[in-house]
Structure 1
Amino acid sequence: MVARTTGQPGASTAGDPYVPSHGNGGYHVESYELDLDYRVNSNRLSGKATITAVANQALSRLTFDLTGLRVTKVSVNGRRAARYTHRAGKLHVTPPAAIMDGAEFVVDVQYAGNPKPEDSPWGELGWEELTEGVIVASQPSGAATWFPCNDHPGDKAHYRITVTTDSPYQVVANGRLVSRRVKASRTTWVFDQAAPMATYLATVQIGRYDVLDLAASPVPTRAVLPAAQLRDFRTDFGRQQEMMKLFCRQFGPYPFEGYTVVVTDDDLEIPLEAQGISIFGSNHVDGRRTSERLVAHELAHQWFGNSLTPSTWQHIWLNEGFACYAEWLWSEAAGGPTADQQVSKAYTRMRGLSADLMLSDPGPELMFDDRLYKRGAMTLHALRKHLGDDAFFDLLRTWTRTHRHGSVTTDDFISLAATFSPDETALQELFAAWLDNYELPRRR
């Protein structure tokens, strides 16, 4: 499924009430080719984006999300745009000739400036300077701070990201490193992400990092981190390989070519996921495995959120509820509290909190509320008890296989779960109680 609207051609919204000012209608992006030149000391970014897309209606105007940077040139299908305007985070482009429904077209945008994160109801999002380097954390709507895009999770595309920066710095971006070329004092890194990817999962990480190869199978895994963190990292992430093997058994094959963990030299409030990459702050590495549940959480997002991406933000529990439950599955497998014990703890805590969150439609204010994570995980545990372990994990593997690299909704999951349930009425009652009510259901 891709982001679509039924409004005016080139409508400057994807119709998602959770992020009403982001995303655009009238087309589906097939690929982004981003050629970025970045100066770390001055925080100066110059970029060229080549966007290949297909119209899903006749288009006399195109709209892209781009904020905080200045556009210098726009062309459509190799011809200079008849007109473009850039204001309020929207780049409006009038092509030299109307684009027909179903036609493929290519838009080139040249732009430059000093990128900075965008303020949002969920904090600052997007391209952000570190003490020495860069972090890009875009969920849910920060991608437009560094490239023009259709910034909505339902429009997934192929990416090729080229970054040229000062040679002392290591660059990490999504996908396979295709080439690395050094010229004088600067290095050009080229990454190719073949699997479809949502804009919020696209990232660039830049820092004075060492590279540590962790595993060759079942998934090529590496870490990119400051040299000072190496010793503690080996302890804190020492069981990540066991997590990978467990999740491959429980969730199905890992969905991407490799997995990279980045540890910044700065503290981060929370770790974050990108496609094929997880980013942690130095505060998450202490040599005592204090953040091990977060290591499991971010790894699980590669299946739930990155391969299977919500078609709209209303379905965010399909990301966070599943990743939270993966924390509990890891705890259970590693000899810690069982999933049932974790549910009891979370249930007791939530009973003392406000009952104003509906999991199936939490609203933008509560889409990252901790209660959504915990209630989503409890919903999955209730489903596991209803189905039994064999059927439950078979369901999860079928879910990730059927929708691999796709966009999903809650109804998709409910429909698939029904094919595994011996009692459809009981299953519907379970989902209604956990997903569609504010009050916590009674535990059984």
Structure 2
Amino acid sequence: MLRRGGGAARGRRLPLRPPDPPTPRPPRITNVPRPPGITPLTLARSLCLTLVLGLTACGGEGVHGKPGAAGVHDPYFPKSGNGGYDVTHYGLTLSYDPRGKRLTGTADITARALQNLSAFHLDLLGMNVSDVTVEGRKARWSRAGQELTVRPADDLDKGRTFRATVRYSGSPRTITDPDGSKEGWLRTADGALGLGEPTGSMAWFPGDHHPSDKASYDVRVSVPEGLQAVSNGELRSETTSGGRTTYAWHTAEPMASYVATLAIGHYDITRSTTKKGLPVYVAVDPTQAKASRKVLAGIPGIIDWEAYNFGPYPFSSTGAIVDRADDAGYALETQNRPVFPGAPDTATLVHELAHQWFGDSVTPKSWRDMWLNEGFATYAEWLWQEDHDGESADEIFHALYKGDYYEPADNSEIWAFPPADPPDAAHISDPPVYYRGAMVLHKIRRLVGDDAFYDIVQGWAATHRHRNADTADFTAYVEKSAPDKDFSGIWDHWLHGEGRPDHP
């Protein structure tokens, strides 16, 4: 993500196996003498415990499920996400009417139970829920804030794959972040824009909305004829009937919900490929077409350059969505095709496309680890300048350290807090996360040398491809990759240290 004012198919089922042989019944016991005062029921329970201890049928005292947690205790957004299950696939069927500002949706959620579940939570803010089923059976449900609590008709056993269906409708909300930015469902002049970082996706579909739970997606969107609906992944079909057009999008690779997007409006669509045949799908608001044409034509070259430096591109397509400048206050690294508020410059395009490796493929375990997204994407900008007749990364590093590079007059913003330890949710997108995060990477590069540095960067992206990682994973990976180097000074002073380090 680049904020203008603040810095910059899973879901397969297990194979069938032959049924287990029937468990032999314990012998029937009759004519057992009992002491006076012992009832038949008490005796039966005693015999059951003695003879077949551990069978859940005995006395009706089996192992029961319990509710999954309402949140995963993220240090900055503790209510986000949910415990007890892992989503493997979202199937969203949506219909939007821009005039009435009404969204109608059905969310088919395939998940695997991580514990014996009597109930589980989904994140959904606002919207009216009309019906919930689990495995095709009616489920009880209740609402409290962003929590939709679902109680299946029967407990879900640990390890079981299940399908929950939620039908809902209403006028989706625009959410104000702790830092004042707008996300969720943003109404535009001719449609709408769904953006999710960090919590906005819960405004337009129910789910496990924390970056630690990634899934594949199928999104079918019906809009009035004449409008387009652009989402992540690949466009599978486009059909028009009865004055409405339905677009079907498929995202096969795992995706965190905060980088899911839906853009509805009038767009000029262009399709091309990179030199290696990667599809490029670009949607541009007609008012931005002329201003953005030249820079967007550079997407194939940028992708090839980033693949050379960071390793193979992790997804099956790329591209961009360009809306009007006042539709959103920031660019966002939505998977496959980042969103831009107005025509981007090349640096911003490089930044958001670099996120496809760092943030979208290698996704943080929690919002504390944002520097692993933004530090890498910012450093990609420096490397691009270095390789394209601009300042070197070392020159940019020293200019930042001396206070001669960062645009705002108060350079102390960069040193306000350590990049790996933002003070609260309002600061996870502040300058230290971007610039000081990039400086950590440059310090590593200077210590190990260019060859070893690029091995580390590419190895990190490959090792954690389509997975989640945190700061401890990164530092451990770096140390393992260069065991003869001492990184303690970088970690202590640049990554976790307070204030500006004494020496650059």
Letter in 1 for 2:493: A
Matched residue of 2:174: which SS?
coil
Q: CA contact under 8 A between 2:320 and 2:338: conserved in structure 1?
A: yes
1:435, distance to aligned residue in structure 2 (A): 1.1
Q: How does 1:70-149 map to 2 (within 5 A)?
A: 70-81=128-139, 83-122=140-179, 123-149=181-207
Match of 1:412 in 2: 473
1:259 aligns with 2:297: no
CA distance in 1, matches of 2:192, 2:475: 40
**Number of residue pairs matched by the alignment:** 430
1:150 aligns with 2:208: yes
Letter in 1 for 2:147: K
CA distance in 2, matches of 1:148, 1:269: 25
1:428, distance to aligned residue in structure 2 (A): 2.6
Matched residue of 1:394: which SS?
helix
1:352, distance to aligned residue in structure 2 (A): 4.3
Match of 2:488 in 1: 428
Q: Greater CA deviation, 199-208 or 359-368?
A: 359-368
Letter in 1 for 2:211: P
Q: CA contact under 8 A between 2:299 and 2:319: conserved in structure 1?
A: no
CA distance in 2, matches of 1:372, 1:227: 34
- Structure 1 gaps of 5+ residues are 1-6, 286-290
Letter in 2 for 1:294: T
Q: How does 1:14-413 map to 2 (within 5 A)?
A: 14-81=72-139, 83-122=140-179, 123-218=181-276, 219-267=278-326, 268-282=328-342, 284=343, 291-349=345-403, 352-353=411-412, 355-362=415-422, 363-413=424-474
1:309, distance to aligned residue in structure 2 (A): 0.3
Letter in 2 for 1:373: Y
How large is the RMSD of aligned CA atoms in angstroms?
Answer: 1.8
1:42, distance to aligned residue in structure 2 (A): 1.2
Classify 1:440/1:207 alpha carbon distance in 2 versus 1 (closer, same or farther; 3 Å). Answer: same
1:8, distance to aligned residue in structure 2 (A): 6.5
Q: CA contact under 8 A between 1:116 and 1:129: conserved in structure 2?
A: no
1:442, distance to aligned residue in structure 2 (A): 3.5
Q: CA contact under 8 A between 1:131 and 1:266: conserved in structure 2?
A: no
Q: Greater CA deviation, 336-345 or 375-384?
A: 336-345
CA distance in 2, matches of 1:97, 1:214: 50
Q: CA contact under 8 A between 1:316 and 1:367: conserved in structure 2?
A: yes
CA distance in 1, matches of 2:325, 2:500: 38
Letter in 2 for 1:346: L
CA distance in 2, matches of 1:88, 1:230: 40
Letter in 2 for 1:423: D
1:35, distance to aligned residue in structure 2 (A): 0.4
CA distance in 2, matches of 1:118, 1:231: 31
CA distance in 1, matches of 2:455, 2:75: 34
Q: Over alpha carbons, which structure has the higher Rg? A: 2
Using the size of structure 2 for normalisation, the TM-score is: 0.82
CA distance in 2, matches of 1:171, 1:345: 43
Q: Greater CA deviation, 329-338 or 350-359?
A: 350-359
1:202, distance to aligned residue in structure 2 (A): 1.0
Fraction of identical pairs, as percent: 37
Q: CA contact under 8 A between 1:74 and 1:110: conserved in structure 2?
A: yes
Letter in 1 for 2:331: P
Letter in 2 for 1:416: Y
Structure 1: 4+ residue segments shifted above 6 A: none
Match of 2:31 in 1: none
1:251, distance to aligned residue in structure 2 (A): 0.2
Residues 269-321 of structure 1 deviation map (CA, whole Å, 9 limit, x = unaligned): 22111111111122x35xxxxx2211111010100000000011111100000
- Structure 2 gaps of 5+ residues are 1-64
1:215, distance to aligned residue in structure 2 (A): 3.0
CA distance in 2, matches of 1:25, 1:297: 33
Using the size of structure 1 for normalisation, the TM-score is: 0.93
CA distance in 1, matches of 2:489, 2:274: 44
CA distance in 1, matches of 2:435, 2:222: 41
1:66, distance to aligned residue in structure 2 (A): 0.4
Letter in 1 for 2:341: G
1:213, distance to aligned residue in structure 2 (A): 2.4
